[in-house]
Copies of this chain bind each other. A is one copy, B any other.
């Protein structure tokens, strides 16, 4: 492929080599343990070129999974106002994104993650490092409790994707956002801020 795209900077072959190396590194070692330097070595390029193409390590990671949303833009809307009402705001923002055209790409990513261990790892890393960890950090949730609380939130929201957007089980598939927010918001609220029996034993 010698064809150049005007939409993205750089040589497309080099860009693809970096993305392949990054995908492998993020899936095998996880976001935290993958280094730009090692990815550059594996792709046969200078680390500076990765920064030039993708900006930060977050930017490189987001490019590997090709998700058409930016958590850095959405999360502040959800956490603004703190823990009070955060469950409702999270579910409302989530539905707005998934009910939009971006939801179609999200469904494709979920489907792929079900059958491809690497994509599953990348999706898990995305949820952990780009969404959940940041959200619990911004909300100042006790770091000892944050991992369990956020993985509980993940069960509810991933299940929403599955039932509303993939299996399309009625009446939830067609339920207005307000009905879903009223029903599911309190669940997320409790997972993030409520008194969860059993948490004490996990500290």
Contact = CB atoms under 8 A, between A and B. Distances in A.
Interface of A: 110-111, 113-115, 120, 123-124, 127-128, 147-148, 151-152, 154-160, 162-164, 166-173, 175, 178-179, 182-184, 186-187, 190-191, 196-199, 201-202
Given A156-B155, A159-B160, A169 B114 contact: no
A118 B123 CA distance: 25
A12 B107 CA distance: 37
Chain A binding site: helix, strand, loop or mixed by DSSP? helix
User: How many copies of this chain are found per oligomer?
Assistant: 2
A130 B157 CA distance: 24
Given A114-B115, A151-B172, 7 more contacts: A111-B114, A123-B167, A147-B170, A151-B170, A151-B173, A154-B159, A156-B159
A164 B154 CA distance: 10
A75 to B, nearest CB: 18
